[in-house]
Homo-oligomer: A and B are copies of this chain.
């Protein structure tokens, strides 16, 4: 038994769902807004999102994709013309029906019956159809292709059961939409986006992912192929962290995206779309959080180092603040992970210990405390968020020289970034199980492997249509889903555990968010 008194009230092993909510609150990342299904993203949570945005946007631009902005509202007619797409999204969407409010005569306001829209507008759940309209205007000839666009935007999908960052009615995301001359080019782009997501998640968020193709039943409505990156949370569940779709010519037919090809003929474009969202922040919490709160990988941390002067509300404070300001400047001139180190000197009023634990819960990678004795000795006291406790159950305060602290910081932050990734990778790999050779064994595995059983990679024969539906239904009874067919999986060499036929590939099965 550990004798550590952790900073959160709930431990991961006791109640993972409750622990998740507590991290969000204790790290001051987000909160319920009072508007059904919508959250308020607070500065620390939004700061992490801004870091994700900037790092991913650099990758998006480097690939020659250009950012645009498309309307929030989509005419109803756009949804009716693409039957397959509607099927997937029609159920729960926010519908604008009026454009004016008037007094109800009782001190309140009501939608003005005289201002009813002729055609209701849907708040975008995703923008394929409206961007398809634009592409139809923009693409005339093969010379206009590829057309590579992206937008950072808010979208709304009415959700009955919400969970912060993971499933909210409104969320923030980026959606890439591209048009190409042919299938080959579109598939290259689909895979490029997928690989970009893998790199963002692994290199920036330090979340190991498995990239692969989704089975037919998990495809985006209207897509020919859907690919995903899947991450394993600490409770062994899967989180789909990003998707990339090859849409064939389906959306091009619906929106009329045609071009004159190199031989002078008219053709429909092959399109793709790909997206990631604030959901990744949920994945970040469930990958790197511990019983003391969040741990933010240094590359993403809005503040990588927080300096806390132990102020006493006395005249001597001035010298201490000066010392800390010198430390801040010294650190801010150093480089970690290719960028200047982000340092905050936190002079807010409050007790030193309380402020320390606030920053521990927020997961700032390094906290530096400086008291007057440290200053006199030319030292600082450092806490690494990834090595918070000594074996004796006491916080691991590291006393270091002023210059040494500055000189080592870049390397230390880089080491922490890699360590967080390595830790998550090791856990993930240890929790993917192979060798299950029947559905009965699969059921038995999940029945007998405790709370957090992880994933199982099984061999299958890739059934389609009704045969697949049956398999999916069966998995559903076990609370399991297909995740994806990993790009890097070994070739199949056995029988399908569902059909008994010779297996054609390996697919991941897991409980999922």
Contact = CB atoms under 8 A, between A and B. Distances in A.
Interface of A: 31, 33-35, 38-43, 46-47, 49-50, 66-77, 79-80, 86, 90-103, 107-111, 120-123, 130, 133-134, 137, 143, 149, 153-154, 156, 158, 170, 172, 348-350
A306 to B, nearest CB: 15
Given A38-B73, A73-B170, 14 more contacts: A33-B71, A33-B133, A33-B134, A34-B75, A40-B71, A40-B134, A46-B69, A79-B109, A90-B102, A94-B98, A95-B96, A95-B97, A96-B123, A143-B350
14 contacts: A31-B134, A33-B70, A33-B133, A40-B68, A40-B70, A43-B68, A46-B67, A71-B170, A72-B154, A72-B156, A72-B170, A80-B107, A95-B97, A98-B120
A42 B158 CA distance: 29
Nearest to A151: B46
Nearest to A69: B41
Contact of A109 (B39, B76, B156): B76
A98 B101 CA distance: 16
A94 B121 CA distance: 9
Nearest to A54: B54
For this chain, the copies found in one complex come to: 2
Pairs of residues from A and B, 10 with the lowest C-beta to C-beta distance, nearest first: A38-B71, A43-B66, A41-B69, A99-B158, A95-B98, A35-B71, A97-B97, A95-B111, A94-B96, A33-B71
A86 B123 CA distance: 23
A76 to B, nearest CB: 6
A100 B93 contact: yes
Contacts of A80: 107-109
A122 B95 contact: no
A308 to B, nearest CB: 16
Contact of A47 (B66, B98, B122, B130): B66
Contacts of A122: 101
Nearest to A66: B43
Nearest to A77: B108
A63 to B, nearest CB: 14
A101 to B, nearest CB: 5
Nearest to A67: B46
A71 B137 CA distance: 32
Max count, chain B CB within 10 A of own CB: residue among A92, A102, A123, A134? A123
A134 B96 CA distance: 25
Contacts of A34: 75, 133
A140 to B, nearest CB: 13
A69 B31 CA distance: 11
A147 to B, nearest CB: 10
B79 A101 contact: yes
Nearest to A71: B38
Nearest to A349: B143
A177 B371 CA distance: 35
Contact of A98 (B66, B67, B97): B97
A121 B43 contact: no
Given A40-B68, A71-B35, A72-B154, A99 B94 contact: yes
A47 B61 CA distance: 11
A86 B108 CA distance: 10
B93 A101 contact: yes
Contacts of A96: 94-97, 123
Nearest to A102: B90
Contacts of A68: 40-43, 46
Contacts of A156: 72
A113 to B, nearest CB: 11
A86 to B, nearest CB: 7
Contact of A76 (B39, B108, B158): B108
Contacts of A153: 154
Nearest to A172: B69
Nearest to A148: B43
A255 to B, nearest CB: 11
A137 B107 CA distance: 26
Nearest to A348: B143
A99 B109 contact: no
